[in-house]
Amino acid sequence: MSTEFASASYTAGQLNAMVKLLKKQAGEDGPCRFLRGEITVTEPEHAWREQDGVIYFSVTSDGTTGEEWIKRLEGKNFRVSDYAKSVLRSSDFKPTDGVTTEIAVLKGMLFSDDDRVTKKICAEADKRNLTKPNAEVACLIREKFTDKELEAMGRLWGIVAMHEPIKDSDGAPLLLDAHRVGVGRWLHAYFGHPDFRWLCEHGFAFAVSQV
């Protein structure tokens, strides 16, 4: 029988995070109750939750650069459009490492056709105390969810990360988009002009303010 502790493969930080999560989800005595077998851990039906028509989930960055994201996604049979590659290769694409962001996705159906433009969507997000995420969250979202999961969120064709627009090689401001269309799962990019009009099948990803 091995004498190695089962926890040997986890860092102290990871173990601490597990305890904090148990306390958050099951109360202050959650870890002790779990050890006594009084509560069990079950996988949620979805990797997201929906409240009042808004989709919520979290993503955690790992320091992947834009060029590395291209190789990482294409290595997993994702498709990365030329526009998206231009954004990922920009010096304005600045990855973070170990940052967990809670994402709120405002569905396009929340807006009328006249109001479903970038500046009005951002104004609504501001009213909800939501902020612009790092552009890398689009890559994390694309990797996190299958096309079937995007469809299950409300027949979404894509989730646009509403980050600060990044200019492509031609100077056009773009927003990265985790997209499902045709064959394969796409990371795409759309124009980030304030008056750009979106389809109702899009979702718009903002960061939940931690303040």
Question: pLDDT by residue (tens digit) across 66-87?
Answer: 999 999 999 999 999 999 999 9
**What pLDDT score does 130 carry?**
98
pLDDT tens-place string over residues 186-205: 999 999 999 999 999 999 99
**What pLDDT score does 2 carry?**
53
d(CA 55, CA 112): 19
d(CA 2, CA 11): 20
Q: Is position 44 within any domain?
A: no
Q: Is position 24 within any domain?
A: yes
Q: Is position 40 within any domain?
A: no
Q: Are residues 22 and 62 in the same domain?
A: no
Q: Are residues 204 and 152 in the same domain?
A: yes
Q: Are residues 92 and 156 in the same domain?
A: yes
Q: Are residues 136 and 158 in the same domain?
A: yes
Tell me the residue range of the domain where 134 lies: 49-208
Q: Are residues 159 and 192 in the same domain?
A: yes
Q: Which residue has the higher pLDDT, 22 or 153?
A: 153
Q: Are residues 159 and 195 in the same domain?
A: yes
Q: Is position 14 within any domain?
A: yes
Angle between helices 66-75 and 137-144 (to 10 degrees): 10
Q: Are residues 10 and 53 in the same domain?
A: no
Q: Coil, helix or strand for 29?
A: coil
Q: Are residues 138 and 161 in the same domain?
A: yes
Q: Are residues 153 and 191 in the same domain?
A: yes
Q: Is position 196 within any domain?
A: yes
Identify the DSSP state of 74. Answer: H
**Smallest Cα–Cα separation from 19: which of 8, 9, 5, 33?**
33
Q: Are residues 23 and 113 in the same domain?
A: no
Q: In sequence order, what DSSP letters do the residues of 122-187 get, joined into one string?
A: HHHHHHTTEEPPPTTHHHHHHHH--HHHHHHTTS-SEEEE--S-EE-TTS-EEEEEEEE-SSSEEE
Q: Are residues 29 and 98 in the same domain?
A: no
pLDDT tens-place string over residues 132-141: 999 999 999 9
**What pLDDT score does 172 carry?**
93
Of the listed ranges 22-26, 93-97, 150-154, the one predicted with least confidence = 22-26
Q: How many residues does the chain have?
A: 211
Q: Is position 184 within any domain?
A: yes
Q: Is position 42 within any domain?
A: no
Q: Is position 115 within any domain?
A: yes
**What pLDDT score does 150 carry?**
94
User: What total of structural domains would you count in the chain?
Assistant: 2
Q: Are residues 91 and 27 in the same domain?
A: no
pLDDT cut 70: percent of the chain above it: 93
pLDDT tens-place string over residues 152-175: 999 899 999 999 999 988 899 999
Beta bridge partners, 82, equal none
CA atoms within 13 A on the CB side of 11: 3
Q: Report if pTM > 0.85.
A: no
